[in-house]
A and B are shown apart, each in its own frame.
Chain A
Amino acid sequence: MIEKSRLQIPRPTARPGDEPDFSYLDLSPAGAIDKPPIGSRTRNVEFLSSGLVRVLDDNHDAVGPWDPGLDPAQLQVALRWMMLNRAFDERMWQIQRQGRISFYMQALGEEAISIAQGMALRAGDMCFPSYRNQGLYMYRGMKLVDMMCQCLSNTRDMCQGRQLPVMYHSKEGNVFSISGNLATQVPHAVGWAMASAIKGEDHIAATWLGDGSTAEADFHHALTFAAVYQAPVILNVVNNQWAISSFQGTAGGQRRPFAARGLGLGIPGIRVDGNDFLAIYAATLWAADHARRGHGPTLIEHVTYRGGAHSTSDDPTKYRPRDEWDSFPLGDPVERLKQHLIKEGCWSEDKHGRLEKELKDEVQAAWKEAQKYGTMTEGPWLDPATMFEDVYAEMPQHLESQRRRLLEILAED
């Protein structure tokens, strides 16, 4: 046989019509991965980037060294936030389908990440999220009605009609503005963390991007800067297996896990079960302590699954098996935390059902209120002349004159 060079075309294990096949995922049993001390040298914790840190086992028990030992009340709070995230997404998706907002992106199947990490970080830590981290904004105090008003681009929109739906920001909550360009926020988080260290503060930064966008140069700049300056930052790769229609292998996930991307620079990586609230919480606390105590950055890969379409503009049945999520070996994060709480004797199907109903009502009440500030078809309306504001700190002359011209044109109608 003649050996010659070849071009590998990465292909997912299943396309529409195929049986879902997650045999490519390396899984470790819950509790199997050691928990090294904070400040361990990267070379001694390389196993964290190839194994899978899990706490919740198949019997819904919390096992092993990574169990954060949260009490049931805290876990109920966590479950509530995850369920709220899901209820909100479900309603907003419907609202988009009814033509009442232009666009939406849901976090279905990934809710544990935003909530667990929101809870594990401190309020003064700065978050640089991606567009599927709405749970972070919720957990950090953003009202549902404000999120809805942003999606409506109405008179109460925090973005004043300048941004696509879901591109929130919260200065008060220390959650950065979502760009819409992928991975650009990752080196911002590193710069923010460097500034925190320069100022001698102990706030850390955390940032999130998808498996697909790890291919962007910004991610690699971020890794390099974070490693060089040992910036106090947590870099989270949310590996939900799909970047629109491209599976994670298209971004290089077939050769080595995304958690290992930083190893060459000496950044420890933790590959964590992204549908296991307890494991994410514990891994985040480890990384946060590591950063806060001067040991620098950590890369966390969350192995999860994008339960829904990429966005309301996407149709995943065109490129992946319709029922693929049902076969995902790490299940559904909400269901797993719920079953754990039931197993612990502090939750029930009945309570869960009542909470679901309560959250649905909460979301509906917020929607009712949000519409009062304007919808796509009914006022009140934002003043279009505000589009000229905030381009600069003070409006320069040419924008002032363009603003006057717009007002003249509008007055003619």
Chain B
Amino acid sequence: MAQMNMIEAIRSAHDVMMKKDSTVVVLGEDVGYFGGVFRCTDGLQRKYGEHRVIDTPIAEGGIVAAAIGMGVNGLRPVAEIQFADYIYPGFDQIVSELARLRYRSCGDFFSPVTIRTPCGGGIRGGQTHSQSPEGIFTHISGIKTVMPSNPYDAKGLLIAAIESDDPVVFFEPKRIYNGPFDGDPDKPGVSWTSHPKGEVPEGYYTVPLGSAEVALPGEDLTIITYGTMVHVSIAAAQATGVDAEVIDVRTMAPLDVQTLADSVKKTGRCLIAHEATRFGGYGAELAATIQKECFYHLEAPIRRVAGWDTPYPHAFEWQYFPGLKRVSASIRRVMEAE
């Protein structure tokens, strides 16, 4: 075992897979010589060469499309979109092509592309470097949507994504690249070294796609969340003194309904927490699913705590971000409701 932060774990996943499988190639803006703006591909080009770690033009639609073509020709591309906020020019290629190629050709053609992209707020990135668009992708049939919350899962899920013959959009919550974040921006940052999930095997392993995990066991309330909000939710549970069970969804689609439903049936109360805006968001899908699966076990209405339905405001980041204070308040409201 080694100590890794999330960046090192992601880099290690690339390294393991590029060594194991010569068809794995990496492409994206600044990923090659420089090693990525977040350093997730640092050193890979020196190790595996310019033909396998490719700096691309600034054209997200072109990056996704070229990756699709490479995948059809037997490669296993890992494409980086530098910020999730920049993924939209590639959206048509993801929705109309990548997600549907297997379906429309009845399995004769497919392209096993993994698209990695840093997402989420809390880094003073303003509206163009803070978005959480993951929910949009969960709405698309034919792709899998993943968001890890720690280094161990990041590496294991990324290896599973690269090995998957299905396309995967892999969101990396950049606020927790260097350490977990409890939602209180006034506290000093912490690193992954003191966190059990910062212990990462150096070699090959996978965390299977489509499985959620109990991040914190508890009896009285289920908080369903993912990414950075896993840590905020755990901190809020501790701050409120509520015996909450925090579920890390990990793979947003396809969803591990069983793990979620088992927990809510046990606790009878459910709070859904995500950074993304609320209206029409992924939390609504979770709420509908829990309502269907657990209606007769519920002791209170399901609540959501999420980003406000505005663009991400630069100067009001900590009023916007559903941090420790807001999640704690939501916990109390679910616990007080009858």
Please give the residue numbers on chain A whose beta carbons come within 8 Å of chain B beta carbons, in ascending order.
126, 128, 158-160, 162-163, 167, 169-171, 176-177, 179, 181, 184, 187-196, 198-199, 205, 217-218, 221-222, 224-225, 228-229, 389-393, 396-398
Instruction: Give me 27 A-to-B residue pairs in the complex whose CB atoms sit less than 8 angstroms apart, sorted by A's number.
Output: A167-B104, A169-B109, A176-B109, A179-B97, A181-B97, A184-B92, A184-B97, A187-B61, A188-B97, A190-B66, A191-B68, A192-B70, A192-B72, A194-B69, A198-B75, A199-B73, A199-B74, A199-B75, A218-B92, A221-B61, A389-B106, A390-B102, A390-B106, A392-B102, A392-B142, A393-B110, A396-B254
B72 touches A176 (CB 8 A): yes
Find the A residue at minimum CB distance from B60.
A221
- A392→B144 CA distance, assembly (Å): 9
Task: State which of B68, B74, B75, B107 has its C-beta within 8 Å of the C-beta of A390.
Answer: B107
Task: State which of B69, B92, B109, B142 has its C-beta within 8 Å of the C-beta of A191.
Answer: B69
Specify which of B62, B101, B254 lies most central, judged by the most chain A CB atoms within 10 Å of its CB.
B62
A177 touches B73 (CB 8 A): no
Q: A391-B142, A393-B166 are in contact. Are A169 and B93 (CB under 8 A)?
A: no
Please give the residue numbers on chain B whose beta carbons come within 8 Å of chain A beta carbons, in ascending order.
25, 51-52, 54, 56-57, 59, 61-62, 65-75, 89, 92-93, 96-97, 101-110, 141-142, 144, 164-166, 210, 254-255, 257
Q: A169-B108, A391-B103, A393-B165 are in contact. Are A228 and B57 (CB under 8 A)?
A: yes
- A191→B101 CA distance, assembly (Å): 15
B164 touches A177 (CB 8 A): no
Task: State which of B52, B70, B75, B109 has its C-beta within 8 Å of the C-beta of A177.
Answer: B109
B59 touches A224 (CB 8 A): yes
- Inter-chain contacts of A391 with B (CB < 8 A): 102-103, 141-142
- A184→B68 CA distance, assembly (Å): 10
Closest 4 CB pairs of A and B: A191-B69, A221-B62, A187-B65, A191-B66
A184 touches B65 (CB 8 A): yes
A163 touches B25 (CB 8 A): no
- A183→B137 CA distance, assembly (Å): 22
A192 touches B96 (CB 8 A): no
A218 touches B65 (CB 8 A): yes
B65 touches A191 (CB 8 A): yes
A189 touches B166 (CB 8 A): no
- Inter-chain contacts of A217 with B (CB < 8 A): 61, 89
Specify which of A158, A228, A392, A396 lies most central, judged by the most chain B CB atoms within 10 Å of its CB.
A392
B62 touches A184 (CB 8 A): no
Find the B residue at minimum CB distance from A189.
B69
B89 touches A192 (CB 8 A): no
A294 to chain B minimum Cβ distance, whole angstroms, is 14
- A128→B73 CA distance, assembly (Å): 12
A392 touches B65 (CB 8 A): no
Task: State which of A159, A162, A193, A224 has its C-beta within 8 Å of the C-beta of B57.
Answer: A224
- A390→B110 CA distance, assembly (Å): 10
B61 touches A392 (CB 8 A): no
- Inter-chain contacts of A169 with B (CB < 8 A): 104-105, 108-109
- Inter-chain contacts of B97 with A (CB < 8 A): 179, 181, 184, 188
- A171→B65 CA distance, assembly (Å): 19
Find the A residue at minimum CB distance from B93.
A184
A187 to chain B minimum Cβ distance, whole angstroms, is 3
Task: State which of B51, B68, B96, B106 has its C-beta within 8 Å of the C-beta of A198.
Answer: B51
B254 touches A191 (CB 8 A): no
- A126→B68 CA distance, assembly (Å): 14
- Inter-chain contacts of A396 with B (CB < 8 A): 210, 254
B52 touches A191 (CB 8 A): no
- A169→B104 CA distance, assembly (Å): 9
- A228→B93 CA distance, assembly (Å): 20
- Inter-chain contacts of A162 with B (CB < 8 A): 103-104, 106
- A190→B257 CA distance, assembly (Å): 40
Specify which of A176, A177, A190, A393 lies most central, judged by the most chain B CB atoms within 10 Å of its CB.
A177
- Inter-chain contacts of B210 with A (CB < 8 A): 396
- A225→B61 CA distance, assembly (Å): 11
A133 to chain B minimum Cβ distance, whole angstroms, is 16
Task: State which of B25, B66, B103, B106 has its C-beta within 8 Å of the C-beta of A225.
Answer: B66
Given contacts A191-B70, A218-B61, A225-B57, 20 further A-B contacts (CB under 8 A): A167-B104, A171-B109, A177-B108, A181-B96, A184-B65, A187-B68, A188-B66, A190-B69, A195-B69, A195-B73, A196-B73, A198-B25, A218-B62, A224-B62, A391-B103, A391-B141, A392-B144, A392-B166, A393-B102, A393-B110
- Inter-chain contacts of B52 with A (CB < 8 A): 198
